[in-house]
Amino acid sequence: MEEDSKEGRNLPLRTAPSATDISGPAAPKTPRVQPNEEPQSKRQSPLVELVDVKKYYGQVKALDDISFCAREGEFISFVGASGAGKSTLVKLLIREERPSEGEIRVAGRNIGALSFADVPFYRRKLGVVFQDFKLLPQKTVAENVAYALEICDVDDAEIRERVPKILSLVGLVRFAKRYPHEISGGEQQRTAIARALVHNPQIVVADEPTGNLDPESSLEVIETFKKINETGTLVILASHNKAIVDNLKRRVILLRDGKIVSDQNPGRYAL
């Protein structure tokens, strides 16, 4: 893990914007900040912005008037009891669902208005991690990660170069040739995280990523998200795990019955 970590720190997580980039041209690397000027992070428009978002499933109001902004480099945990609306929020962010009312802007673009054809391109700009790892059991760790690139027609030379770098970031180089059933749950989830990183996402969204893991594996997974966040990636985590969220000491947004009841930075979880 130690060797992996050192190597992983140098991994460039961003590629040049492609024709389908939702974020437009990249910001200059070293912005010049004048005295008395607000820091860059304050002035930059938010990466994710929700404005009065409501989501109904028939008569059920899953989300009610949700508004918040999330900026590059933030690590935000959405917490709340079962049924509070966490997964609905994740589904809206990854454009699996559309809001019933309100607007969701990601990198300035209203994602509710994306055409059916644009959705796959949008999703490639996000890293998405779920509770169940969704790995291909007949492929090794490295092959699971490579496959996410293969299906996007990335050429073999680039795949050979990128996969070890991503595995290094999540501390899995030495498990590259193992199959999912030969590694722990935490390692399987880290493989899924590696796969989520193949397109250098600006945003990683995770819904209960530690839900199937023991405390030790959960910690490994959270440490991996922290490392990804250190590279500037916005991490949005939905979790009901009190210990994990307390431990992060980062921004916490508490949902209750589909509403935001507190938004604290750094926050602690309380029901």
Ligand X SMILES: Nc1ncnc2c1ncn2[C@@H]1O[C@H](COP(=O)(O)OP(=O)(O)O)[C@@H](O)[C@H]1O
State the residues that interact with ligand X by CB under 6 A: 57, 60, 62, 80, 82-88
Residue 138 contact, options Mg ion, ligand X, none, Cβ 5-8 Å cut-off depending on partner type = none
Q: Which is nearer to ligand X, 148 or 238 (CB)?
A: 238
The whole-angstrom separation of Cα 159 and Cα 157 is 5
What does 80 bind: Mg ion, ligand X, none (CB cut-off 5 to 8 Å by kind)?
ligand X
Biggest alpha carbon distance in the chain? 57
Please answer whether residues 48 and 69 qualify as being in contact, where contact means their C-beta atoms are separated by less than 8 angstroms: yes
Residue 87 CB, shortest distance to Mg ion, in Å, is: 3
Q: Is residue 87 a contact residue for Mg ion (CB under 5 A)?
A: yes
DSSP 173: G
Separation of alpha carbons 12 and 166, rounded Å: 10
Q: Nearer Cβ to ligand X, position 34 or 82?
A: 82
Q: How far is the CB of 60 from ligand X (least distance, A)?
A: 4
Alpha helices in the chain (DSSP H): 2-9, 40-43, 86-93, 119-123, 141-150, 156-169, 185-196, 215-230, 242-248
Cα-trace Rg, the chain:
18
Give the range of 49-57, 85-93, 131-139, 163-171 binding Mg ion by CB under 5 A. 85-93
Tell me whether residue 91 or residue 123 sits nearer to ligand X (CB atom). Answer: 91
Task: State the minimum distance, in angstroms, from the CB of residue 88 to ligand X.
Answer: 3
Smallest gap, in angstroms, from Cβ of residue 91 to ligand X? 7
From residue 33, give the alpha-carbon distance in Å to each of 40, 46, 70, 73: 7, 18, 22, 18
Nearer to Mg ion, 74 or 208 (CB): 208
User: In whole angstroms, how close is the CB of 78 to ligand X at the nearest point?
Assistant: 8
Task: From the list Mg ion, ligand X, none, pick the one residue 172 interacts with, judged by a Cβ distance below 5 to 8 Å according to partner type.
Answer: none
Find the shortest distance in angstroms from Cβ 77 to ligand X. Answer: 12
Q: Which does 224 bind (CB under 5 to 8 A by kind): Mg ion, ligand X, none?
A: none
**DSSP for 103-131, written as a single string:** EEEETTEEGGG--TTTHHHHHTTEEEE-S
* Closest residue to bound Mg ion by CB: 87
Closer residue to ligand X, CB minimum distance, 57 or 214 = 57
Q: Tell me, what amino acid is at 220?
A: E
Query: Does 241 help bind Mg ion (rule: CB under 5 A)?
Result: no
**Sheet with 48-57: strands ordered across:** 60-70, 48-57, 101-106, 109-110
In angstroms, the CA 95 to CA 120 distance is 10
Which residue lies nearer to Mg ion by CB, 77 or 87? 87
Site residues, Mg ion (CB under 5 A)? 86-87
